[in-house]
A and B are shown apart, each in its own frame.
Chain A
Amino acid sequence: MTEMFSQNNKRDFWEHPWGYMESFFIGTGLLLTGFLIEMFIPSSEEFLISYPYNVVFLGGYIILLFVAYIWFSNVQLIRWLTKVPASISSIVLVTFMVMIMGVVPQIPSSNETITFLGLNHITTHWAFLFMLFLFLTCLGLVTVKRILQFSWSNFGFIVSHLGLFIALVAGILGSGDLQRLSLNVYEGRPSFVAYNDDNHEVELPFAVYLNDFIIEEYNPKLALVDNISGDIAQNNGKNLYLVEKDETYYFQNYEVYLKDYLSDAGKHGEKYFFVNEVGSPPAALVSVRNVDTDSIIEGWISSGSFRSPFEALKISEDYSLVMTIPEPKKFSSNINILTKEGERINTILEVNESFEYKGWDMYQLSYDEKMGKWSDLSVVELVRDPWLPVIYSGIFMMIIGAINMFWLGNKINKED
């Protein structure tokens, strides 16, 4: 590949050893090649290879790195790859590609230039893959170099560089084996047909039965809305007050006192009463005093639900008080896992608390948001990631490396 760039006019340009000029020349050349390929053969698919090809690829790559270093380190290209200029140029060029990702939204775009250059799908862009490959090869070779010259003073270097190499390579190659399914489970019936990312049905080797879906909610919030625009007229809609019995809040020149609060209410005539029915929304009795005129308005407000309409209280020509829909505090599913062998395992899935069964990690994903706390649907995500231990060991090594780095600081300054 280096021959491609061999026509240069400066005599000392390609003199050995290659420095920053050469490194950026090669790096940018590779980057432009990536862009050219992208323009003519756009890569729409994700770069995925699955078992056993990824394992073969990984083994081959690692052997190649060792062979390259041990037997070919006198080749200029290999020597260059183990040196800092190559690494820094690859770091900078990967940074450049990621920076595009950080500015251009990674979603289908109507801008022709963006689509033509493929700037809205960087993670699958040829140029990004080339840069990443250069980056990993630099990282891999330098790690091989230090491993072969092992000494304890290299410990920090090896754990951070090897850890990063392992985590990245396993992350990239492992994504081909990663399975991510979503399973809808309804209260009272077993479900075993899940859907993958492409919406294809996948039959699970076990069934999931939802015993109960439970939501804990925060109290609703109180908001002042503009009668004409319907917008929230206070704090830009942030930091609203929670509705709580006996609290007093101030909005502009109104003093709002919460006389009563019912978490589950039904309307009867003009009033709300506590009821225990599916779809009964929260309601509150508020008393609003205009501080300037001392006039008082009293009435009920309710956030409404899929079954009953919301209720606002008009407090002046300009404003009304409303109650927001309660936000979930915590939601969880009490499920049974039913196996083909007739086993039954009971567990509770919760956001941030997954459950592992036979290599599947189960996550509480979502529910029927329109039904809110009366949802009898719970969406469970199932993830199978056989490379997880490998990636975690890389991450763990990097953590050790980071702690080591904090503790020992840098060498340059200690030497002098």
Chain B
Amino acid sequence: MTWIDFPLYSGIIGIVWLLGLVFLFLSYKDVNKLKYALPILFLGWCVLIVFVGKLWMELDRPPMRTLGETRLWYATFLPFVGFVTFFRWRYKWFLAYSILLATVFLMINYLNPETYSKTLMPALQSPWFVPHVLVYLFSYAVLAASSIVAIKGIYDFYQESFSLETMKLADNLVYIGFAFLTLGLLFGAIWAKEAWGHYWTWDPKEIWAFLTWMGYLTYIHYRHFHSHKTKQSLTILALAFVVLLVCWFGVNYLPVAQTSVHNYTQQ
């Protein structure tokens, strides 16, 4: 089993990425360091790709069946999204964020080796599973970041140190995150249709994902047409975050949880 090699590979990737991140942080002081940071981070990513490729060949099936394998895919896609976003928007911190998140996934896999052989119910064994979950995960991460920016903005308001840059950052994050959230909802609908014949069943998790979507939709429209009412916009953004948190963590505690199909707790 190639998983045996995982500690070795993940160790190498971890060290390479750490080095890359150090250069990335240094580049805030000295822009020249960026030309080291990017290739180093890219190198770490290539090592990861080699590992995934080898695993795929060894298993004779796409390694997407178990939870550990799924996390491996998150770890592979996140840096990709980070790179694309970086080349488009030049957010260094965002690249760092995606690399760190990918590292967390590798770490979880390293710490939970027994989860590799865990069973996965047939309904989840779909080519849509990975894009659906991946896109959601990414969008939640970006939207969460945008709302944190909003909370900082509101705080700055009271400190009277508010700057329009905060607004720009929040807007860009919302647009990126919202685009991905839309994709997540749509992939979910297509998957559900292909697998079960329903687009949408108003399952609690779907309801809250929809509410999150509507929350950020309100922000986008309000912000676009009342660009001077920054404080109101920031409040909407902060409220949207509350809905996002319910969707992310809270759904399981609501009275509706009993009727959800998104509860994959086994046994």
Contacts and interface: CB of A to CB of B under 8 A. Distances in A.
* A, B from the same assembly: yes
Interface of A: 84, 87-88, 91-92, 94-95, 98-99, 101-107, 123, 171, 180, 218, 221, 232, 237-242, 324, 327-331, 350-352, 354, 361, 363, 381, 383, 385, 388, 391-392, 395, 398-399, 401-403, 405-407, 409-413
A84 B211 contact: no
A327 B119 CA distance: 8
Contact of B179 (A104, A331, A402, A412): A402
A241 B265 CA distance: 15
Contact of B256 (A104, A329, A399, A410): A104
Contacts of B115: 239
Given A352-B194, A412-B224, A413-B172, A102 B256 contact: yes
Contacts of B176: 406, 409
B143 to A, nearest CB: 13
Nearest to B85: A406
A218 B119 contact: yes
Given A102-B254, A363-B195, A406-B179, A352 B211 contact: no
Contacts of A361: 197
B178 interface: yes
Interface in B212-240: 214-215, 217-218, 220-225, 227
B189 interface: yes
Contacts of A351: 122-123, 125, 195
A219 to B, nearest CB: 9
Interface in B168-187: 168, 171-172, 175-176, 178-180, 182-183, 186
Shortest Cβ-Cβ A-B pairs, 8 listed = A383-B197, A406-B179, A351-B122, A402-B182, A102-B207, A352-B126, A218-B119, A95-B214
Nearest to B177: A406
Contacts of B179: 402-403, 405-406
A175 to B, nearest CB: 10
Contact of B215 (A95, A237, A324, A329): A95
Interface string B91-134: 00000000000000000000000110111111101100000000
B221 A327 contact: no
Contacts of B224: 84, 410-412
Given A105-B259, A410-B172, A239 B114 contact: yes
B267 interface: yes
Contacts of B217: 91
A105 B180 contact: no
Contact of A409 (B175, B182, B258, B266): B175
A339 B225 CA distance: 59
A363 B196 contact: yes
Nearest to A404: B179
Given A330-B125, A398-B182, A88 B218 contact: yes
Contacts of A405: 175, 178-179, 182
Interface of B: 88-89, 114-115, 117-123, 125-126, 167-168, 171-172, 175-176, 178-180, 182-183, 186, 189-190, 193-197, 199-200, 202, 204, 207-208, 210-211, 214-215, 217-218, 220-225, 227, 246, 254-256, 258-259, 265-267
A414 B204 CA distance: 38
B199 A391 contact: yes
Contacts of B211: 95, 98-99, 102
Contact of A107 (B196, B199, B246, B259): B259
A240 B178 CA distance: 37
Nearest to B135: A402
Contacts of B225: 84
Contacts of B118: 239, 242
Contact of B214 (A94, A327, A328, A381): A94
A407 B117 CA distance: 39
A87 B217 CA distance: 11
A241 B171 contact: no
B64 to A, nearest CB: 12
A98 B122 contact: no
A98 B217 CA distance: 15
21 contacts: A88-B218, A91-B217, A92-B218, A95-B211, A98-B207, A99-B211, A102-B204, A102-B254, A105-B256, A105-B258, A171-B200, A324-B267, A329-B120, A330-B125, A351-B122, A392-B190, A402-B178, A402-B179, A403-B179, A407-B88, A412-B224
Nearest to B257: A105
Contacts of A92: 218
Contact of B125 (A180, A352, A391): A352
